[in-house]
Amino acid sequence: MLELIVISTLNGVLFGMLLFLMASGLTVIFSMLGVLNFAHASFYMIGAFFGFQLSRWFGFWPALVIAPVLAGALGAAVERYGLRNVHKNGHVAELLFTFGLAFAIEEIVQMIWGKSPVDYRVPASLDFPAFTIFSTNYPAYKMFMLLVSIAIFAALLVGLKKTRIGMIVQAALTHPHMVGHLGHNVGRIFMLVFGFGTALAAVAGVIAGPALVTQSNMAGLLGPILFVVVVVGGLGSLPGAFIASLLIGLLQTFAVSMNGSLASVFGPLGPGHTLLADIWNVTVAQIAPILPYVLLVLILTFRPMGLLGTRET
Amino acid sequence: MSEISAPSLPARSTRSDSVKFYGLWIAVAVALLVLPRIFSSGGALTTFSLIGISIIFALSYNILLGQTGMLSFGHAVYYGLGGFLAVHGMNLIASSKLPIPLPLVPLIGGVAGLIFAMILGWVSTRRSGTAFAMISLGVAELVASSALILRSFFGGEAGITANRTKLFRLFDWSFGPQIQIYYLVAAWTLIAMILMYALTRTPWGRMCNAVRDNPERVQFVGYDPHMIRYIAFCFAGFFAGIAGALSAINFEIANSAYLGAVQSGTVLFAAYIGGVGLFIGPIIGAIFVTYLSLALSDLTSVWQLYFGLIFIAVIMFAPGGIAGLLMKHRPVLRAGMIGTVLRSYLAALVPTAAMLAGLVLAIEIVVHHTVNASDDPNIKAFGMSFNAASPLIWGLAAALIVVGYIVARKTWTYVAHAWDTAMTAAREKGFLA
């Protein structure tokens, strides 16, 4: 039991930190441009596929650097030549644009790399067990993923709070005109922030690719959960996104490892009707995929602005 | 959505207006009756049935997006649940020999859609805008994932089947042949269209527009925007359920794909490409998207990519959709400037078409090399045959894109110029507010 708890906590924190890598970019973009980037998870997927292709050509470590840079450049181009032109038509048009983009990216990835998963493997230098707890070997690569996520989290925190660039970005979040009058190019700041946010998502893709499955529907699987994170945490709140990421990461990992069902607890009291019997017999592990959405509905019912959100939209 | 104006309706309809109005619906009804006589092949009838279902679905979606300003990513939930309930209803009617004929089954789907919209809508319509979009997506994922867990109701991956011919018969219609299904769908499409159009003319329909444009002001005049959004959501769910039930009747099956994200995305594409600002928009969009998805899938293997690109192009260059684009030309036409504009279009047509042809060629070559690399390089797409391995074709694609773009840019400025002149003329003659 203790073993289960320790391993699940580690995996849950790991998944949560990966979610946060993406949610942080999404949140900063949302706060700044006011648009929820529907294609954010697509950049995560692009990161994974670029990482796969580049690590084939140059090895894993160069890929870890180059893939996010390329994906970030792509993101900046999307902001400059796509979103900025749509901006005059309002937020719904912007949201629809990113939705169409997500659709197109999925098709293009499918066109280039096919529908089946690609063979993206953990690099040999990290392919060993880091430590053994309760007779389970914990892979070093997962520790590496955790360390990268925490390092980026720390860098992000320091970067936003302590550096000059962070100050300008934070000021542009709330007072874009004032920042513009002070001589900063707000348009370029938006473009760079968008590029930076997508690059963060791509980092998550490069490091998650070998551990999870790299295939053309990975964006579609993760995208909705990402939005749950952002809504549960409170739209535009970075600390909220952090808490919600960890919460959902832990919730899902723990649920997957549990096999109990109503039937196993109450046993013979089961109902006769078939539909109710379905509910009665379903295990916690089976409902793990819908738990984030249940959480979403609960949060919206009892605290519509999200955990740490301040604004009602 | 402020750029989308409300459908311009006269405050008080005159007699000639009402003749026009009823005449239009009668014309539509006659057209629906005559259509299968002109195109009588089985494939055409199936296409028409699908288009009819798609029109109801797209119009129901437009109650949310176009009229009330709610961007939903999960409208297929009500479509799918309507379909499932209709299939279960058909099985129940057949097994217990209830005297309910098939034409009434869509009502079961409609009521199912309404009930689920009433349950799920209360939470999601509390907020509008981006938050609503996210919530609708979350709710849709919740229902779609549950469908795979509750196997006895949703039938797992395989779905639930029914036999539409086993129901209580009225006037000896068996509903076996597609032509009878076509008439069933056509009748429901007409009824649903008229009902939904009538809804836009009620005071409540006008309040929906007000909520879309300025919810704070609506609150200030004493209405509750949440309540108006909620009622709109329920109506949309009802009509989506009817569409889902018709689809279930047409295919005699309902499976989890009915509820999925692809279905929600398709209806969004249809409504938006057609144009959400006008009632006719989603109808045009439903016809266009259904026809395109059937026709393009025969022509090329990556038709969904073209689909996505068309959608992006519409968002970027024609936010009013096809209907909005056509409506924009009305003042130009009335000002007698349509000739100038059309001439500029003709000039832009050739280089733009060349550029697009180059893009299509490039996409098809890349598809050949990545997906079917081992196949014969002589491929066929859009009726053209070419050798995807030859450098000549690569060069041609590149040349078409580059040269086409350079020339097309010049003609686009010409189009913009002609448009400006025409608009100025229209404004001077008072055809443009």
Instruction: Give the model confidence (pLDDT) of A225-241 as tens digits.
Output: 888 898 888 877 788 88
Interchain proximity B3–A100, CB inside 8 Å: no
Give me the mean pLDDT over the A185-194 stretch. 84
| Partner A contacted by B261 (CB < 8 A) | yes
* pLDDT tens-digit readout, A8-52: 888 888 889 888 888 888 888 887 777 788 889 999 999 999 989
Residue B281 has pLDDT above 70, yes or no: yes
| Partner B contacted by A276 (CB < 8 A) | no
The answer to whether A279 and B150 have CB atoms below 8 angstroms apart is yes
User: Which range (A30-34, B13-17, B418-422, B423-427) has the least confidence?
Assistant: B13-17
- Cα nearest neighbour of B121 on chain A: A297
* pLDDT tens-digit readout, B72-109: 888 999 999 999 999 998 888 888 877 778 888 899 99
Residues of A in contact with B149 (CB under 8 A): 278, 282, 286-287, 290
| Partner A contacted by B127 (CB < 8 A) | yes
Single-letter amino acid, residue A186: V
- Cα nearest neighbour of B74 on chain A: A224
The answer to whether B124 and B136 have CB atoms below 8 angstroms apart is yes
> Is beta strand B253-254 parallel, antiparallel or unpaired with respect to B160-161?
antiparallel
- Cα nearest neighbour of B123 on chain A: A301
Mean pLDDT of chain A: 82
Highest mean pLDDT: which range of A76-90, A133-147, B385-399? A76-90
Rounded CA gap, B135 and A227, in Å?
Answer: 9
What DSSP string describes A193-248? HHHHHHHHHHHHHHHHTTTS---TTHHHHHHHHHHHHHHHH-TT-HHHHHHHHHHH
Q: Percent of chain B scored above 90 by pLDDT?
A: 18
Distance (Å) from the C-alpha of residue A216 to the closest C-alpha of chain B?
Answer: 13
* pLDDT tens-digit readout, B241-251: 999 999 998 88
pLDDT value of residue B6: 45
Which residue has better confidence, A102 or A276?
A102
Q: ipTM value, please give it.
A: 0.83
Residue B129 has pLDDT above 80, yes or no: no
pLDDT value of residue A297: 82
pLDDT value of residue B381: 62
Angle between helices B42-62 and B178-201 (to 10 degrees): 20
Check residue A310 and report its DSSP letter. Answer: -
Distance (Å) from the C-alpha of residue B18 to the closest C-alpha of chain A?
Answer: 35
Residues of B in contact with A80 (CB under 8 A): none
Residue B1 has pLDDT above 70, yes or no: no
Q: Percent of chain B scored above 70 by pLDDT?
A: 91
User: How would residue B233 be classed by pLDDT, with cut points 50, 70 and 90?
Assistant: very high
Of A99, A111, A304, the CB nearest to B371: A111
Distance (Å) from the C-alpha of residue A102 to the closest C-alpha of chain B?
Answer: 9
| Partner B contacted by A287 (CB < 8 A) | yes
Interchain proximity B138–A297, CB inside 8 Å: yes
pLDDT value of residue B146: 83
Distance (Å) from the C-alpha of residue A271 to the closest C-alpha of chain B?
Answer: 14
User: How would residue A305 be classed by pLDDT, with cut points 50, 70 and 90?
Assistant: confident
Rounded CA gap, A23 and B27, in Å?
Answer: 53
Distance (Å) from the C-alpha of residue B179 to the closest C-alpha of chain A?
Answer: 35
Highest mean pLDDT: which range of A238-247, B162-171, B363-372, B373-382? A238-247
Rounded CA gap, B62 and B1, in Å?
Answer: 13
| Partner B contacted by A271 (CB < 8 A) | no
Query: Could you say which residues from 344 to 373 on chain B have a Cβ atom under 8 Å away from some Cβ of chain A?
Result: 363, 366-367, 370-371
Distance (Å) from the C-alpha of residue A127 to the closest C-alpha of chain B?
Answer: 30
pLDDT value of residue A232: 87
Residue B57 has pLDDT above 90, yes or no: yes
Helix/strand/coil (H/E/C) assignment for every residue in chain B:
CCCCCCCCCCCCCCHHHHHHHHHHHHHHHHHHHHHHHHCCCHHHHHHHHHHHHHHHHHHHHHHHHHHHCCCCCCCHHHHHHHHHHHHHHHHHHHHHCCCCEHHHHHHHHHHHHHHHHHHHHHHHCCCCHHHHHHHHHHHHHHHHHHHHHCHHHHCCCCCEECCHHHCECCCCCCCCCHHHHHHHHHHHHHHHHHHHHHHHHCHHHHHHHHHHHCHHHHHHCCCCHHHHHHHHHHHHHHHHHHHHHHHHHHHCEECHHHHCHHHHHHHHHHHHHHCCCCCHHHHHHHHHHHHHHHHHHHHCCCHHHHHHHHHHHHHHHCCCHHHHHHHHHHHHHHCCCHHHHHHHHHHHHHHHHHHHHHHHHHHHHHHHHHCCCCCCCEEEECCEEEECCCHHHHHHHHHHHHHHHHHHHHHHHHHHHHHHHHHHHHHHCCCCC
| Partner B contacted by A298 (CB < 8 A) | no
User: Which range (A12-16, A31-35, B282-286, B380-384) has the least confidence?
Assistant: B380-384
| Partner A contacted by B310 (CB < 8 A) | no
Is residue A123 classed exposed, middle or buried when 0-12, 13-18 and 19+ CB atoms within 10 A define those classes? middle
